[in-house]
């Protein structure tokens, strides 16, 4: 069988060569079976293989085919929701633990790149940007909260004069710069994790979409042409769980996100736009985010679709958003435009835990997954190995189903998002 490739994108056009993995055929067995060949699943597999477990990873398409291989590539502390939401449920002490672990997730990227020689263009440096006057105060309060309540120091609040020394735009009034967060080539990072997992003995199967999971003392993951059995299982399909576990799927919503890559700008022109090569994201609810690529392109993300329909005229719309930030790129072509689903939870908090005694899951990364997915794999592997203290805290975060059921939850969310778009327009 011929397995389709990755979606066309700048990432797939610049991906390192990677081996094809076989399709699951017949019966296979391992200590642990993992659904999903993205960062969550591969991180889990690496952690378990390092502990001596035999692991099978089942990927419905190609390794890194989902959000892990086509996201904005920005690795940031924290989660998709404000820490105040987590603190309201878990209390200050446990919220502080979760925050510290999120920083571990960022540090884990550099650690794995060193340990497994993963070449993925990792660059430290990330900034959150204020567009409106009120957002300057938001950044200041956030910086104070990070330092005072979570012990996260070292961020720098830049006013307009300071930020324009490194960022050639008039759009932003202030930046909160973090030297410890950063950005990378997400597909090459994911492919590097797969190479590391395979070297540790993990068996990876592509084109092997799981159609059902039979629960029991031995779990059975069934695909079209075979099945894999294990004492433990991990569901890391996120937005692509596809009916395998409806009670989990009801807790998340697939949301379309989009990115474009400009034509090459040349080193001099690119460096003049972002002199310190940081990644940037504004703090609107429907946000823009951008960074430079290693071949001197502008990678610019924005637009979301809650309706499961791609926005019409996407290429023109993405360029328009890009030149709102950088009018000096008005003469530059857009070479690549791509998009795909990420998963969001209702409260944007991480939804990680276990079903029964031996089936684990991680989802609800809510657009904040590059660092948190790797951490989720480590936390789940610890629990399978008998150390559940961290996962038990994550599992205490309460999650509710999206309203409306399978048919009506998307229209309901579209209406709700109109409110947040209106809030973004406030001065």
**pTM summary value:** 0.94
Summarize pLDDT for 260-314 with one digit per residue, the tens: 999 999 999 999 999 999 999 999 978 899 999 999 999 999 877 766 667 788 9
Q: How far apart are CA 427 and CA 423, in angstroms?
A: 9
**Which tokens go with 362?**
């991680």
Closest CA to 193 of 252, 307, 98, 115: 115
**Which tokens go with 29?**
């067995």
**Which tokens go with 319?**
């360029």
**pLDDT level of residue 420 (50, 70, 90 thresholds):** very low
What's the sign of the alpha-carbon dihedral 248, 250, 252, 257?
positive
With DSSP H G I counted as helix, E B as strand and the rest as coil, what are the percentages for the chain, rounded to 5?
Answer: 35, 25, 35
Question: Do the Cβ atoms of 46 and 193 come closer than 8 Å?
Answer: yes
**Residue for token digits 């571990």?**
104
Alpha carbon separation from 55 to 50, 355, 375 (Å, rounded): 11, 19, 18
Closest CA to 6 of 185, 183, 259, 187: 187
Q: How far apart are CA 259 and CA 304, in angstroms?
A: 10
Summarize pLDDT for 81-120 with one digit per residue, the tens: 999 999 999 999 999 999 999 999 999 999 999 999 999 9
Q: At residue 422, does pLDDT exceed 50?
A: no
What's the sign of the alpha-carbon dihedral 364, 147, 388, 373?
positive
**Residue for token digits 């504004």?**
282
**Which tokens go with 401?**
């189903």
Summarize pLDDT for 198-238 with one digit per residue, the tens: 999 999 999 999 999 999 999 999 999 999 999 999 999 99
Question: Do the Cβ atoms of 220 and 232 come closer than 8 Å?
Answer: no
């Amino acid at each position: 069988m011929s397995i389709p490739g990755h979606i066309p994108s700048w990432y797939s056009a610049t991906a390192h060569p990677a081996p094809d993995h076989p399709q699951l055929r017949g019966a296979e067995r391992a200590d642990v079976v993992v659904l999903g060949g993205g960062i969550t699943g591969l991180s889990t597999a690496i952690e378990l293989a390092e502990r001596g477990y035999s692991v099978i990873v089942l990927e419905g398409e190609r390794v890194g085919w989902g959000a892990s291989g086509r996201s904005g590539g920005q690795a940031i502390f924290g989660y998709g929701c404000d820490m105040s939401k987590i603190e309201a449920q878990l209390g200050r002490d446990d919220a502080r633990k979760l925050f510290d672990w999120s920083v571990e997730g960022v540090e884990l990227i550099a650690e794995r790149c060193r340990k497994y020689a993963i070449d993925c263009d990792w660059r430290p440096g990330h900034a959150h940007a204020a567009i409106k006057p009120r957002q300057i105060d938001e950044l200041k309060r956030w910086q104070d909260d990070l330092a005072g309540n979570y012990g996260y120091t070292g961020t720098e609040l830049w006013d307009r004069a300071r930020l324009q020394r490194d960022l050639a735009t008039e759009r932003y009034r202030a930046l909160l710069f973090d030297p410890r967060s950063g950005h990378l080539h997400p597909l090459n990072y994911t492919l590097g994790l797969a190479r590391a997992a395979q070297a540790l003995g993990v068996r990876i199967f592509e084109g092997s979409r799981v159609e059902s999971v039979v629960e029991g003392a031995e779990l059975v993951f069934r695909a079209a042409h075979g099945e894999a059995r294990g004492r433990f299982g991990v569901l890391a399909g996120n937005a692509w769980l596809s009916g395998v576990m409806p009670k989990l799927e009801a807790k998340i919503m697939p949301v379309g996100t989009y990115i474009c890559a400009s034509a090459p700008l040349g080193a001099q022109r690119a460096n003049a736009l972002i002199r310190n090569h940081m990644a940037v994201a504004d703090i609107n609810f429907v946000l823009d985010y951008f960074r430079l690529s290693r071949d001197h392109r502008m990678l610019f993300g924005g637009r979301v679709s809650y309706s499961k329909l791609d926005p019409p005229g996407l290429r023109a719309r993405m360029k328009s958003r890009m030149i709102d930030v950088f009018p000096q790129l008005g003469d530059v072509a857009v070479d690549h435009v791509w998009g795909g689903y990420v998963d969001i939870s209702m409260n944007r908090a991480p939804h990680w835990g276990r079903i029964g005694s031996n089936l684990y899951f991680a989802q609800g990364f809510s657009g904040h997954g590059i660092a948190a997915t790797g951490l989720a794999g480590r936390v789940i592997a610890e629990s399978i190995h008998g150390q559940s203290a961290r996962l038990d805290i994550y599992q205490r975060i309460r999650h509710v189903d999206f309203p409306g059921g399978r048919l009506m939850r998307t229209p309901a969310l579209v209406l709700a998002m109109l409110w947040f778009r209106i809030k973004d327009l406030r001065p």
